[in-house]
Amino acid sequence: MILKGLEISSMAVNCYIVGCEETKEVAVIDPGGNPKAILRMLQQDGLKAIYIINTHGHIDHIGGNRGVKEATGAQILIHEADAKMLVNAVSNFSFLMGSNVTSPAADQMLKDGDVIKIGNTVELQVIHTPGHSAGGICLKTGDIIFVGDTLFQMSIGRTDFPGGSYEQLITNIKEKLMIYSDETVCYPGHGPATTIGFERQNNPFL
């Protein structure tokens, strides 16, 4: 499996490129900004972006959608509950930063349990984990989960934004993520990677 990451935007968002070694088709997860850097990585490795997947609709995770889509034609995928945030600067909070940033509308709405197929070898299972936002999702493939802003190393996503819920987030982390083995690697939207086992033992929120 192809797996690459880069930290982008002023809010240090982790953007991941994941895909099929055979076909070189990939998904770009959370292109939060700097589409030129993302496109440069794709071009350097001869990769074809077929999907842009947003783990949720906040501006720091969708800011590069337009640039990547216009250059690659990739389809934009997001959970149905956050879809409106793509096209509304108030909903995605870019207005709080004094800007009016929007994304093209979603090409496909996701829901819990969906499977996104990339090339011949990669499947991403959609896990709906609202709490940070109403449409927050994680994406699982094998022993890896891209957890967005649901879970961080020794922390969790903030829940004080509209659509957030501390109780809902904690419940979803415990019931939908902590069910996996200790060895499962979690790649978050910000900060370093961690594992389910490490968080189970050390995360003060759990």
| CATH of segment(s) 2-202 | 3.60.15.10
Per-residue model confidence as pLDDT tens for the chain (206 residues) = 999 999 997 789 999 999 999 999 999 999 999 999 999 999 999 999 999 999 999 989 999 999 999 999 999 999 999 999 999 988 887 876 667 889 999 999 999 999 999 999 999 999 999 999 999 999 999 999 999 999 999 999 999 998 999 999 999 999 999 999 999 999 999 999 999 999 999 999 99
pTM above 0.75, yes or no: yes
Q: In whole angstroms, give the CA distance from residue 29 to residue 188.
A: 11
Q: In whole angstroms, give the CA distance from residue 147 to residue 193.
A: 10
Q: In whole angstroms, give the CA distance from residue 169 to residue 182.
A: 20
Sketch the domain layout of the chain as residue ranges.
2-202
